[in-house]
Amino acid sequence: QKAEWAKLKNEPTITTDGHAVELGANIGTPKDTVGVLENGGEAIGLYRTEFLYMGRDQFPTEEEQFEAYSSVLKAMEGKPTVVRTLDIGGDKELSYLQLPKELNPFLGLRAIRLCLEMEDMFRTQLRALLRASVHGNLKIMFPMIATLDEFRQAKSLVLDEKAKLQGEGVEVSDSIEIGIMVEIPSTAVMADTFAKEVDFFSIGTNDLIQYTMAADRMNERVSYLYQPFNPAILRLVKMVIDASHREGKWTGMCGEMAGDEIAIPILLGLGLDEFSMSASSILKARAQISKLSKADMESHIDHILAMDTSVEVATYVKEKM
């Protein structure tokens, strides 16, 4: 099996009926790019930049960030590289940033909410990203977007910093896509509206499931509610993908679900464009997808979306897809 997978390392990911999808990796540090390329990753679908901010006693400087982002972009040699802006708060804390204790940290001031409030910190990250953009194929992604207004504010800061840098004579790429994570149900529901303004979506199922089912992703006592195959989740995923395609945009997925062998046939049938997973899952996923027909997977979708339960969906996929 390993030998079969190894042969696929430099191959594209194509279904039996000729439909191509992109298999990317989730990374946390620049060193991780080695594993991405060794495992035949076609892209980085999620670079979690918060690790750059964690395990230290002060904010990383613009220069330190520039070095990290540039080295990832260079290592990827022009392959799409989605860098997510700082997603801190919730379960991820910084020792040097004392924030007031919150009753519900997962519903609190985290990710883009915190970045829009701490604008100087956010602008520093954006400047580092924009300066690094000339070294590869950068896509900037904002986490935890709940409203269009948040996206517009964040995007306007990117454009503002870009204009400033160019005014200083610093070169910035003109082809940076700006997208969002879809991990809050309001954003999935409003995907048609967002799709007119964003360049891409990446569905963060780890949080989308948590927020849709109102079940803490870390709490074992409610883990029975953490259901990737609940038709509620699948219907939201479909809404997002369809909305993006109607506007000529693309949708990826960077939650754990994207690398799950039961989820993959469904996601293929739903038309997902990019799957981002841990690097070690890529070749296995490519082997699986290369044996599936997209048209065949599509033919099961209406039936699946009309099912009542998560268990019913998973059982059906194992038997029929």
DSSP 49: T
Calculate the dihedral angle through the C-alpha atoms of 266, 210, 185, 304, rounding to the nearest 10 degrees.
Answer: 20
| Coil, helix or strand at residue 260 | coil
Does 206 bind ligand PEP (CB under 6 A)? Our answer is yes
Q: Which residues contact 252 (CB under 8 A, 6 or more apart)?
A: 22, 24, 45, 82, 200, 201, 202, 203, 258, 272, 273, 274, 275, 276
As measured in angstroms, the least distance from the Cβ of 89 to ligand PEP is 11
Residue 271 CA to chain centroid, in angstroms?
Answer: 16
Considering only 183, 199, 260, 273, the residue that binds ligand PEP (CB under 6 A) is: 183
User: Which C-beta is closer to ligand PEP: that of 180 or that of 292?
Assistant: 180
Residue 198 CA to chain centroid, in angstroms?
Answer: 14
Does 204 bind ligand PEP (CB under 6 A)? Our answer is yes
User: Which C-beta is closer to ligand PEP: that of 87 or that of 260?
Assistant: 87
Residue 48: φ, ψ to 5° = -80, 100
Task: Identify what 136 binds: Mg ion, ligand PEP, none; CB under 5 to 8 Å per kind.
Answer: none
Residue 25: in which H helix or E strand, if any? strand 20-27
Q: For the window 82-121, what string marks contact with ligand PEP as x by the rule CB under 6 A?
A: -----x----------------------------------
Query: Binding residues for Mg ion, per CB under 5 A?
Result: 183, 204, 207
Angstrom distance (rounded) from CA 87 to CA 106: 11
User: Which C-beta is closer to ligand PEP: that of 48 or that of 139?
Assistant: 48
As measured in angstroms, the least distance from the Cβ of 129 to Mg ion is 19
Q: For the window 249-268, what string marks contact with ligand PEP as x by the rule CB under 6 A?
A: -----xx-------------
Does 207 bind ligand PEP (CB under 6 A)? Our answer is yes
- Interacting residue ranges for ligand PEP, rule: CB under 6 A: 46, 48, 87, 183, 204-207, 254-255
